[in-house]
Amino acid sequence: DAGVIQSPRHEVTEMGQEVTLRCKPISGHNSLFWYRQTMMRGLELLIYFNNNVPIDDSGMPEDRFSAKMPNASFSTLKIQPSEPRDSAVYFCASSPRGSGNTIYFGEGSWLTVV
Amino acid sequence: AQTVTQSQPEMSVQEAETVTLSCTYDTSESDYYLFWYKQPPSRQMILVIRQEAYKQQNATENRFSVNFQKAAKSFSLKISDSQLGDAAMYFCAFSVYNAGNMLTFGGGTRLMVKP
């Protein structure tokens, strides 16, 4: 079975540009998470969806960040405008109901803003 | 709020030897899950082992086992017969039962395996 699929795997963009990261969760999973990993702050939860509805977005750093989940098989994380401090690895993860809180990660999107 | 602390930024072990990675956590919850994830250089986050807090028996997965001390809020990972492929960052994580599967991660321990 396919795991969580993220794209792009790597992106280099200039400050001020819009960045869109994409995620396809594992089929049948009803929860989706966006995490960010940096050297300074480690792994941080940005936002959590359940049944396509945002439940907790308290980790979204500021208004430049937005996330959507228009259907059960697709989510986006958008940064507009991007800044160098947004450089990080962004992970999408999904989880099925009754998984005992186990979540499954994608391979991550490595973003560099120059 | 929950916090997870990994006090060892870096550890090293000789191939075929045993190593233990430490993790402590702080919570007022009584029902929760604890996890160890491995992150090799590829950056993929791989689940190593999971422990339910209500279970007294320590979880085991092949060469990986945990020492779960609920009263002490301690959750260490033991890797037996270490292999070169075990070299990675290891993250301890906490999740409250029935509260949305959100994980809180520790800062990680980098494990080096010497041939």
Q: Read out DSSP for A15-69?
A: TT--EEEEEEPPTT--EEEEEEEETTTEEEEEEEEETTEEEE-TT--STTEEEEE
For A59-77, write each residue's pLDDT tens digit. Answer: 998 899 999 999 999 999 9
Contact B43 A108 (CB under 8 A): yes
- For residue B2, what pLDDT band results from cuts at 50, 70 and 90? confident
Whether the CB of A30 is below 8 Å from some CB of chain B: the reply is: no
- Give the Å distances, CA to CA, from A52 to A26, A69, A73: 13, 5, 9
Question: At A1, is the pLDDT very low, low, confident or very high (cuts 50, 70, 90)?
Answer: low
Q: Show residues of chain A in contact with B45, CB under 8 Å.
A: 91, 93, 105, 108
Q: What is the pLDDT of residue A49?
A: 95
Calpha distance B114→B82 (Å, rounded):
9
Cβ contact, residue pair B50, A91, below 8 Å: no
E strand map for chain B: 3-5, 10-14, 19-21, 24-26, 32-39, 46-52, 60-61, 64-69, 74-79, 88-96, 104-105, 109-114
pLDDT tens-digit profile of B35-73? 999 999 988 999 999 999 998 899 999 999 999 999 999
Q: Output the pLDDT for position A62.
A: 84
Q: Which of B97, B103, B107 lies at the smallest CB-CB distance from A103?
A: B103
Cα–Cα distances in angstroms (integers) from residue B77 to residues A21, A54, A78, B41, in the given order: 33, 33, 36, 20
- CA–CA min distance B110, chain A (Å): 13
On the CB side of B51, CA atoms within 13 Å amount to: 26
Q: Which residue has tokens 């594992």?
A: A26
Cβ separation B43–A89 shorter than 8 A: yes
Inspect the interface and report whether the beta carbons of A101 and B44 lie closer than 8 Å: no
pLDDT tens-digit series, residues A11-53: 999 999 999 999 999 999 999 999 999 999 999 999 999 999 9
Is residue B88 classed exposed, middle or buried when 0-12, 13-18 and 19+ CB atoms within 10 A define those classes?
A: buried
